[in-house]
Structure formats: C-alpha cells, structure tokens
C-alpha cells in the first residue's frame, strides 16, 4: 500500500510524531513517504496513492492555514473514495482541527478514517514568555498534573512545559497506525466517523476555532523585526511557510509581508532574538524545539 503523509511542522514537534507514524507503516510492510508542504506546497499526482495522512499542529484550535490551503489545492480523486487519516500536535484541546480538515478533504474524494492527537509542550512564545514572569507557575503545574495526569494537555496552554507526551500517547499512536493501515488496505469505510465526531473536546474551543481567520491570527502575532539585533542570517525567510518574510539581498533586514498566518515559526527559529511579537519581546518565550525526552519517546524503531 502506497502512503504519503503531508507534513507541516513549525518547530519540530509534529515532525517527530510524523516520522514515528511513518515508521510504523513501514514496519507493517507498506510504502510510506513524508512530504513537507513548507518546501513542496503543490500537491503531487496522487492517482497511484492508496492512503494519505495530514499532519500539522493545531493553531488557534484549527489546522494551520498552510495545511488548509494545501488541502484545497489537492486534486479530486478518481475511481471512488480513498482513505485518509489526520495527525495533530497541540499543547491543549485541538478544538475544531479534525472536523475542519475532514470537511476540506471530503469534496476531494478522501474519506477520513480516524484522527489522533498527541499532546506536546506549548511552543507559543507569548504563553511561554508569560510563564517566565510567574516563578511559581512551573512547580504548581507539576503538582497539579502529578495528581491529575489527564490535565496535562489542558493546562499546557497556560503552563507550557507540562505538556510533554507520555508513553501511553506513543503506544496509542502505534495502535492508531495499525488500525488505519488495516482499514485502508481493506477499503473499510464502515467505521469512518463524521467530521464532527473525530474529536469530542471542548465545545467552546471548537467554536472559537471555527471563527478564527488569518487576519485575526496575524493581529494576535504581530511579528516585528529589530534591525539592530538582526544578523541577516536569513533563517526566518527560509522557515516561513507562506513566503511573507522576504528580502531582495542577503545583506538586507527581512521584511514582514501581509501574508503572515501567525504561526510564530520565524520567531522560534531566530536564535538572535531579533524578532518580537504580541506578548513576546525580542526572543522572550522562544521555543527551541522538541525536548530530548520527546525525541527519544518517538524515536522510530
């Protein structure tokens, strides 16, 4: 069975999980490749593809704008419906993420079999910057989650570092991939859920996710470049998934264009602290990538 997982990862959390998921399919004897849509934004020919996966972080309680735009560019399938699955990482409730992605896939002829959510450490700089100013936040969060482990992902948006995934999340992903492969190989759509039933979380967060727009996302981020701190390395230009960080010469300070989708990728990848954003001045709250524990937990075997 030929599978492609289309990936959008801003800081590496989703990439770690996606590589593990792809390795599970390969261990089951299936051909599986990963396509990073930041570098390959145009969908390939999918006529000989049996199964697709979409993997991206939940942002503003919905899929990333980049992933939604990519799904809308997918060609309509021929020869009847084909199976798809969804993966997400988030520091809390993914809200309407899965429902929106499945709704975008349906007109293209892809039936979403199942969806899986892996909690990860919060990489949102404004939240991380806020927690740096509250000295008791970390210890308090640890005490709460030790007593109530199920609150880890829910509290991750407020106390960023309590959202580390656990062994049960990895084992759950292994079981998920086996089930998806079995259903896809058999073309078994009988248990495919309606988009709204793929995730039953907070109704409030799902409702907010439905109402978020790219304009609101941009205003919630408001990225600015400090020319005095910028070393002109060009990292922010390279990692921007929509090409809104631009410069015409290598010795120029990058400019933020109108197409920003509020993903914070440029901010988190800037090692010089030259970028600032809403609630995160000059590198404060910067997320440097998945922890060693997460990388080990999701290391492909």
**42-51, 56-65, 123-132, 264-273: least confidently modelled range:** 123-132
Q: What is the torsion angle, in degrees rounded to the nearest 10, for the CA atoms of residue 271, residue 129, residue 125 and residue 273?
A: -20
User: Would you give the DSSP letter of residue 187?
Assistant: T
Give me the mean pLDDT over the 261-281 stretch: 92
Residue 286's pLDDT band (cuts 50, 70, 90) = very high
Report the first-to-last Cα separation within the chain, whole angstroms.
20
pLDDT at 145: 64
pLDDT at 133: 67
Considering only CA atoms, which of 186, 142, 143, 195 is closest in space to residue 164?
142
> CATH classification of 2-120+165-211 is 3.40.50.150, yes or no?
no
pLDDT at 259: 86
pLDDT at 192: 85
Considering only CA atoms, which of 244, 22, 124 is closest in space to residue 132?
124
Which residue did the predictor score with more confidence, 70 or 148? 70
* pLDDT > 70? residue 98: yes
pLDDT at 55: 98
pLDDT at 137: 63
Has this prediction a pTM greater than 0.85? yes
The pLDDT tens digits of the residues spanning 186-196 come to 988 888 888 98
Give me the mean pLDDT over the 103-131 stretch: 91
Residue 95's pLDDT band (cuts 50, 70, 90) = very high
Residue 153's pLDDT band (cuts 50, 70, 90) = low
pLDDT at 16: 97
Tokens 């390959």 belong to 40
Within 123-202, residue ranges assigned H as helices are: 125-132, 137-147, 152-155, 167-185
How many whole angstroms separate alpha carbon 54 and alpha carbon 63? Answer: 10
- 56's enclosing H/E stretch is strand 51-59
Q: Which CATH architecture has domain 214-276?
A: 2-Layer Sandwich (3.30)
* pLDDT > 80? residue 270: yes
Tokens 């910028």 belong to 230
pLDDT at 142: 65
pLDDT at 136: 62
* pLDDT > 70? residue 146: no
Q: Is the backbone of residue 29 left (phi > 0), alpha (psi -120 to 50) or beta?
A: left
* pLDDT > 90? residue 182: yes
Tokens of 18: 């996606």
* pLDDT > 90? residue 86: yes
Residue 80's pLDDT band (cuts 50, 70, 90) = confident
Q: What average pLDDT does the chain have?
A: 90
* pLDDT > 70? residue 154: no
Give me the mean pLDDT over the 257-280 stretch: 91
How many whole angstroms separate alpha carbon 200 and alpha carbon 206? Answer: 9
Look at residue 229 and give its three-state secondary structure: coil
* pLDDT > 80? residue 159: no
């Amino acid at each position: 069975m030929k599978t492609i997982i289309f990936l959008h990862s801003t800081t590496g959390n989703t990439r770690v999980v996606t590589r593990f998921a792809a390795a599970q399919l390969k261990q089951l004897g299936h051909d599986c490749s990963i396509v990073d849509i930041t570098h390959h934004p145009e969908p390939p020919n999918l006529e000989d593809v049996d199964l697709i996966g979409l993997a991206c972080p939940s942002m503003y309680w919905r899929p990333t704008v980049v992933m939604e735009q990519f799904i809308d560019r997918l060609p309509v399938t021929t020869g009847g419906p084909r199976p798809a699955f969804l993966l997400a990482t988030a520091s809390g409730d993914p809200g309407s993420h899965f429902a929106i992605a499945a709704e975008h896939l349906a007109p293209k002829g892809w039936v979403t079999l199942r969806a899986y959510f892996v909690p990860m450490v919060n990489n949102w700089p404004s939240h991380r910057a806020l927690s740096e100013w509250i000295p008791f936040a970390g210890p308090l969060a640890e005490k709460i989650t030790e007593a109530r482990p199920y609150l880890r992902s829910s509290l991750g948006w407020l106390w960023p570092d309590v959202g580390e995934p656990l062994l049960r999340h990895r084992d759950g992903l292994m079981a998920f991939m086996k089930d998806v492969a079995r259903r896809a190989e058999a073309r078994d759509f009988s248990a495919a859920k309606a988009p709204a039933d793929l995730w039953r979380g907070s109704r409030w967060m799902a409702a907010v996710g439905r109402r978020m727009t790219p304009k609101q996302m941009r205003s919630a981020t408001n990225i600015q470049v400090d020319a005095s701190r910028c070393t002109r390395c060009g990292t922010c230009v390279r990692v921007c998934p929509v090409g809104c960080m631009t410069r015409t010469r290598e010795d120029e300070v990058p400019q933020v264009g109108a197409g920003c989708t509020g993903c914070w990728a440029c901010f988190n990848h800037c090692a010089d602290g030259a970028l600032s954003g809403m609630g995160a001045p000059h590198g404060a709250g910067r997320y440097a990538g998945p922890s060693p524990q997460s990388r080990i937990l999701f290391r492909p075997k």
